[in-house]
Amino acid sequence: MVSDHEVLAFLMEELADGRCVVFVPGSPNPSKGAVYIVAPESVQRMDASRVQVASCISNWGAGMGEIVESP
């Protein structure tokens, strides 16, 4: 199955075998969420601080355009 959506997550760790441990925060409370182990090709890195991302999540996604569109 091919997915047509993206999920905002924090990259927590890269494992020795190349897989990535990510934390997917909940909205509007980014301190609660789920931890996943995913293939590295499933991770797209963004140039955003944890504070920027947490602020966006706690505002139900408002401000995501600024994060996604930054170089």
Predicted local confidence at residue 26, as pLDDT: 86
* Residue 68 in this model has a pLDDT that exceeds 90: no
Summarised one tens digit per residue, pLDDT across range 15-57 is 999 999 999 988 888 889 999 999 999 998 888 888 888 888 8
Predicted local confidence at residue 40, as pLDDT: 95
Burial profile 23-58: b = 16 or more Cβ within 10 angstroms, e = fewer: eebeeeebeebeeeeeeeeeeeeeebeeebbeebbb
Predicted local confidence at residue 71, as pLDDT: 59
The pTM of the full predicted model, rounded to 2 decimals, is 0.77
Predicted local confidence at residue 21, as pLDDT: 98
Q: Where are the domains of the chain?
A: 10-68
